[in-house]
Amino acid sequence: MSERITKDMARNIYFGGGVFAILIFVGLAFDSAHQIPKLSHSENITKSVVAGKKIWENNDCVGCHTLLGEGAYYAPELGNVFQRLGSSDETTFKAYMQGWMAAQPLDTPDRRKMPQFHLTPEQVNDLADFLIWTSKVNTQQWPPNIQG
């Protein structure tokens, strides 16, 4: 194969193919950036959801958990935790979150441990709002089942 291709041909494939690939990618990226606010229900991002995202980031939650499948694989997926542990009910989920966050780390020997983050009840509430918003993102029906 390579004998019939000259260096100039190879260079042209690189420049031509490269420019073509960049144009396609940039075009699709623009379209996605335009569609994502709708697909993710940007209109439901309240102050509390924004504050919850900050808490998520400032405590590096993604260093153990996955969120919509991305992150570390040490602890459970949280994109659908609202459905899994809150039965898709806000009051139930928020009560659960307050109890769960306060109880860490659990006293079970050799179980993987979640640190105590010393969040205020208000911060836990924001975090819950962030996770509830996330659970409603259109993820093409992922995950396959409730266990995430």
Partner 1 sequence: MKYSSQMVAKPYFIFALMLLAGEIIFGLTMSIQYIYGDFVFPAIPFNVLRMVHVNLLIVLLLFGFMGSTYYLIPEEAERELWSPLLAKITFWVFLVAGVATILGYLFVPYAELAKLTMNDLWPTMGREFLEQPTITKIGIVVVVLSYLLNVTMTVIKGRKTTISIILLTGLFGLAFFFLFAFYVPDNLVMDKFFWWFVVHLWVEATWELILGALLAFVLVKLTGVDREHIDKWLYLIIAMTLIAGLAGTGHHFFFMGAPGYWLWIGSIASAAEPIPFFLMILFAYNMIKNRRIQDDNKMALTWAKGTAVVGFLGAGVWGFMHTLAPINYYTHGTQLTAAHGHLSFFGAYVMIVFTMISYAMPILRGRPHGNCAKAQKVELASFWLMVIGMIGLTLALTVAGVMQIEMQRMPDSAHALAFMEAQAKITPVYIVRSLFGVMTFLGLLTYFYSFFVKDDKKVA
For the bound state, the minimum distance from the C-beta of residue 95 to partner 1, rounded and expressed in Å, comes to: 20
50 neighbors 129 (Cβ within 8 angstroms)? no
User: Exactly one of 50, 95, 102, 103 binds partner 1 (CB under 8 A); which one?
Assistant: 50
Output Rg (C-alpha) for the chain, integer angstroms.
22
- Is residue 77 within the footprint of partner 1 (CB under 8 A)? yes
Taking the alpha carbons at both ends of the chain, their separation in whole angstroms is 46
Residue 72 interacts with partner 1 (CB under 8 A): yes or no? yes
Binding to partner 1 by residue 76, rule CB under 8 A?
A: yes
Per-residue binding letters, 96-115, with partner 1 (x by CB under 8 A): ---------x---xxxxx-x
In sequence order, the 6+-apart residues with CB closer than 8 A to the CB of 50 are none
Overall residue count recorded for the chain in this entry: 148
Could you tell me the smallest distance in angstroms from the CB atom of residue 31 to partner 1? 7
Tell me: does residue 30 bind partner 1 (CB under 8 A). Answer: no
6 binds partner 1 per the rule CB under 8 A = yes
**Helix%, strand%, coil% for the chain, nearest 5:** 60, 5, 40
